[in-house]
C-alpha cells in the first residue's frame, strides 16, 4: 500500500505493508529528521505536524511511475513528492 505524509503544502508518498507499519515509519526519529531537513531546504521553514493517509489513485499512479523509473531493484525505500 502507498501512504502519503502531508507536511504543510507538501505531500510525500512511500510504500508500507500495513497502516501500522506506515505509522511507525512516519513516526520514527530518522523519518522525522529527514522531513525536517527536506522542509527547511525547500521552504526555509520548519515542518508542520505531518498527517498520514492512504494515497489517492492519482498519487498511487505517480508514486508507482516514479519508483519504476528511479529505483533500482535493490532499493529498500523510496519517498517521492506527489503533491
**pLDDT score for 46:** 57
Does an H or E element contain 68, and which?
A: helix 57-70
**pLDDT score for 37:** 77
**pLDDT score for 7:** 79
pLDDT in tens, the chain (83 residues): 999 988 777 888 999 999 999 999 888 888 888 887 776 666 555 555 678 899 999 999 998 888 777 666 555 677 777 87
Instruction: Judge contact between 55 and 3, C-beta under 8 A.
Output: yes
Pairing of strands 80-81, 10-15: antiparallel
Amino acid at each position: 500500500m502507498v501512504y502519503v505524509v502531508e507536511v504543510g503544502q507538501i505531500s510525500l508518498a512511500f510504500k508500507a505493508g500495513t497502516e501500522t507499519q506506515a505509522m511507525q515509519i512516519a513516526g520514527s526519529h530518522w523519518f522525522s529528521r529527514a522531513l525536517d531537513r527536506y522542509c527547511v531546504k525547500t521552504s526555509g521553514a520548519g515542518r508542520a505536524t505531518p498527517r498520514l493517509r492512504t494515497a489517492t489513485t492519482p498519487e498511487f499512479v505517480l508514486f508507482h511511475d516514479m519508483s519504476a523509473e528511479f529505483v533500482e531493484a535493490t532499493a529498500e525505500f523510496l519517498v517521492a513528492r506527489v503533491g
